[in-house]
Amino acid sequence: MTEWTTIQNVVFSTDNDPDVLPLYADPETWAKFGDRPVRVSERSHIDEIVGRTSMRIDAGARVSFASYFNAFPASYWQHYTNVSRLRLLVDMRGACTVLVYRSNAQGIAQHVESQSLDGDATATFDLPLATFGDGGWYWFDVIAHSESATLLGGRWETADPEITPGLVSLGITTFNKPDYCVETLDTIASDPGVVDVIDRIFLVDQGTQKVADQDGYPEVAEKLGERLRIITQNNLGGSGGFARSMAETLDRPDSDFVLLVDDDVKIEPESILRAVHFARHSRRPTIVGGHMFDLLDRPVLHAFAEVVDPEPFIWKATVKEDVPHDFRVSNLRQTRWMHSRMDSDYNGWWFCLIPTKVIREIGLALPVFIKWDDAEYSLRAREHGFPTVSLPGAALWHVSWLDKDDTIDWQAYYHARNRFVAALLHSDYPRGGKLLRDSRRWDLKHLLGMQYYPITLRHMALNDVLRGPAHLHETMPTKLGELRSLAGEFREKRVFKTDGELPHANRGKQFYPVPSGTQQSKGPTGLPLILYTARMLARHWLTKPAPANVENPEVELAKRDATWFRTPGFDSALVTTADGSGKSWFARDRGEFRRMLRQSNRLHRRLGREWATLAKEYREALPEYTSVQEWRKTFER
């Protein structure tokens, strides 16, 4: 007798948030309004969710489950796994019709099969998984007849055997986010199906606000029992915390996978099961990542498929023009680009499952604290024949980066250094392709924007790159403190929280002018951009700022208006911080501009000259500084 196992469940959110309903069920009718899909009628409401796996469909209503979390991403399963036999079972109560649809890579829907049910019954559909080469999903709709019907449950099953049937260990790295961590642990502990696939949960606590001291921790720890282990270590960043989880998982003979999860997230627990089932059926060891939704605007998808553009060696979204994507505005059926299979170079470590076989062959994370550790790891894995898949239907909610600007704070060091280290390890272009030129542009952009702190850190980063790979582990425990301590030397890093703190407060000045013509226009391109850059370079190199603009800010700008093509025209500017909590004062300094521009040119010329030698040095040392033995020394330091 053929044994069928579930690889994806139909689930619903039970936290009574109407904003997330479009991620689980689709309203009845859509129509086009110009180029934009709009709801003509909406027959699905949050009070119709009657359980984790159940939903009521009103009499005469039609509800589609062509939704992010309840459609089946057939193309990914066909392309990467051994699954060829697929079965959908839909448990219903009441008279209804269940209709199954599929899509192709262009997002065109095709009716597959229908079944009418009455009373308590299960609709069963055997579905081929052979014609989804470039894209496509399966999903089902339910139409209630003259009375309401209830979806009791649904599941997608396969009879194909698992290739790697082991358990998963979770690695959660945290720094002072104990409340989030306890909530995540409780969410996992409350789902028996998820708990059954978990071997251990390694919670690597690197903060001063300990998870073990958080309200609710004793109760959740009791639920999880020996599955939960808290590891306390010094703050070694994301890469240090996740490398620790990788190393600990290698000592677990029952764990064939480690799932890396960020701390400040809200997780859909079904995503863990889907990632594990996908990895178990993958034809070769595969890194399986999940997508990222905005924790503060939950229907909005921020990360779908990520790649590294090899010539400038920079990460970007495959569908940059289409994300962020709001499922309230356009659901799966209306979002054609989402039906094409999107192959990824890497997946963010907010949610990323890695087979232990991959770790044993290529080593642990790069010792870089934060930034580029996830991208570099997948590039390294690909060079050993292990792909990365960002799996639709597996996701969590994470605070997005829209209200942050980490390119001008202490993280500027890691952005610059780790990008260069990753390129030295993996770029196939001589001298890194366009990386050096792009890095010079970043320097010039910061300098013309009167941002001298990030330039200082970027140049520290390039000097460290030139030191060679020995500095990576050496500086892990101390570099962050060094970077933060430097901030006090820069006027731009002081944040004025109230008007009383502003420079004019004791001089009777009530406000600074907001210049006209600064809102919502685009910057120059082509020849006008070249001429603008030359003019601003000459201005910052040759002229001194007006004394009055050194004593007080010349203008006040909203963050959105303090762009690279506006700020250089002023001697100083008061600019709202990215999170809106205060204002920073940027002021022009001709001496610093000249010194830092010369230094930028020297550093980039030297990197170009020494590129081949450095690349050889970093690549030869890679197995050593990503080894368990070398990481253990840093853990114990």
Please report, for residues 39, 205, 470, 567, 611, the alpha-carbon distance to residue 423 in angstroms, rounded to integers and kept in the order given: 46, 30, 17, 31, 10
Q: How far apart are CA 28 and CA 51, in angstroms?
A: 20
Q: How far apart are CA 511 and CA 380, in angstroms?
A: 53
Which residue type occupies 607?
L
Q: By C-alpha distance, which of 149, 205, 152 is closest to 181?
A: 205
Q: How far apart are CA 84 and CA 159, in angstroms?
A: 9
Q: How far apart are CA 293 and CA 306, in angstroms?
A: 14
What angle (nearest 5°) sits at the alpha carbon of residue 292, between those of residues 202 and 230? 10
Query: For this structure, is 191 an active site residue?
Result: no
Q: Which residues contact 30 (CB under 8 A, 6 or more apart)?
A: 37, 38, 39, 40, 331, 333, 334
Q: Are 171 and 211 in contact (CB under 8 A)?
A: no
Which residue type occupies 598?
R
Q: How far apart are CA 377 and CA 374, in angstroms?
A: 5
* Tally of CB atoms within 10 A around 558: 12
- Token pair for residue 162? 């698992």
Q: How far apart are CA 513 and CA 162, in angstroms?
A: 66
Q: Are 586 and 575 in contact (CB under 8 A)?
A: yes
Q: How far apart are CA 184 and CA 242, in angstroms?
A: 17
| Dihedral sign computed on CA atoms, order 365, 370, 374, 380 | negative
Q: Give the number of C-alpha atoms closer than 13 A to the C-alpha of residue 258, restricted to the C-beta side.
A: 28
Q: Got the DSSP string for 403-471?
A: T--TTSSTTHHHHHHHHHHHHHHH--SGGGTTHHHHHHHHHHHHHHTT-HHHHHHHHHHHHHHHH-TTH
Q: How far apart are CA 407 and CA 623, in angstroms?
A: 30
Rounded to a whole number of angstroms, the distance between the first and last alpha carbons of the chain is 56
Q: Are 392 and 340 in contact (CB under 8 A)?
A: no
Q: Are 154 and 24 in contact (CB under 8 A)?
A: no
List the beta bridge partners of residue 587.
Answer: 572
Catalytic: which of 26, 374, 561, 571?
374
Backbone angles phi, psi at 351, to 5 degrees: -160, 105
Q: How far apart are CA 459 and CA 416, in angstroms?
A: 9
Positions marked catalytic? 374
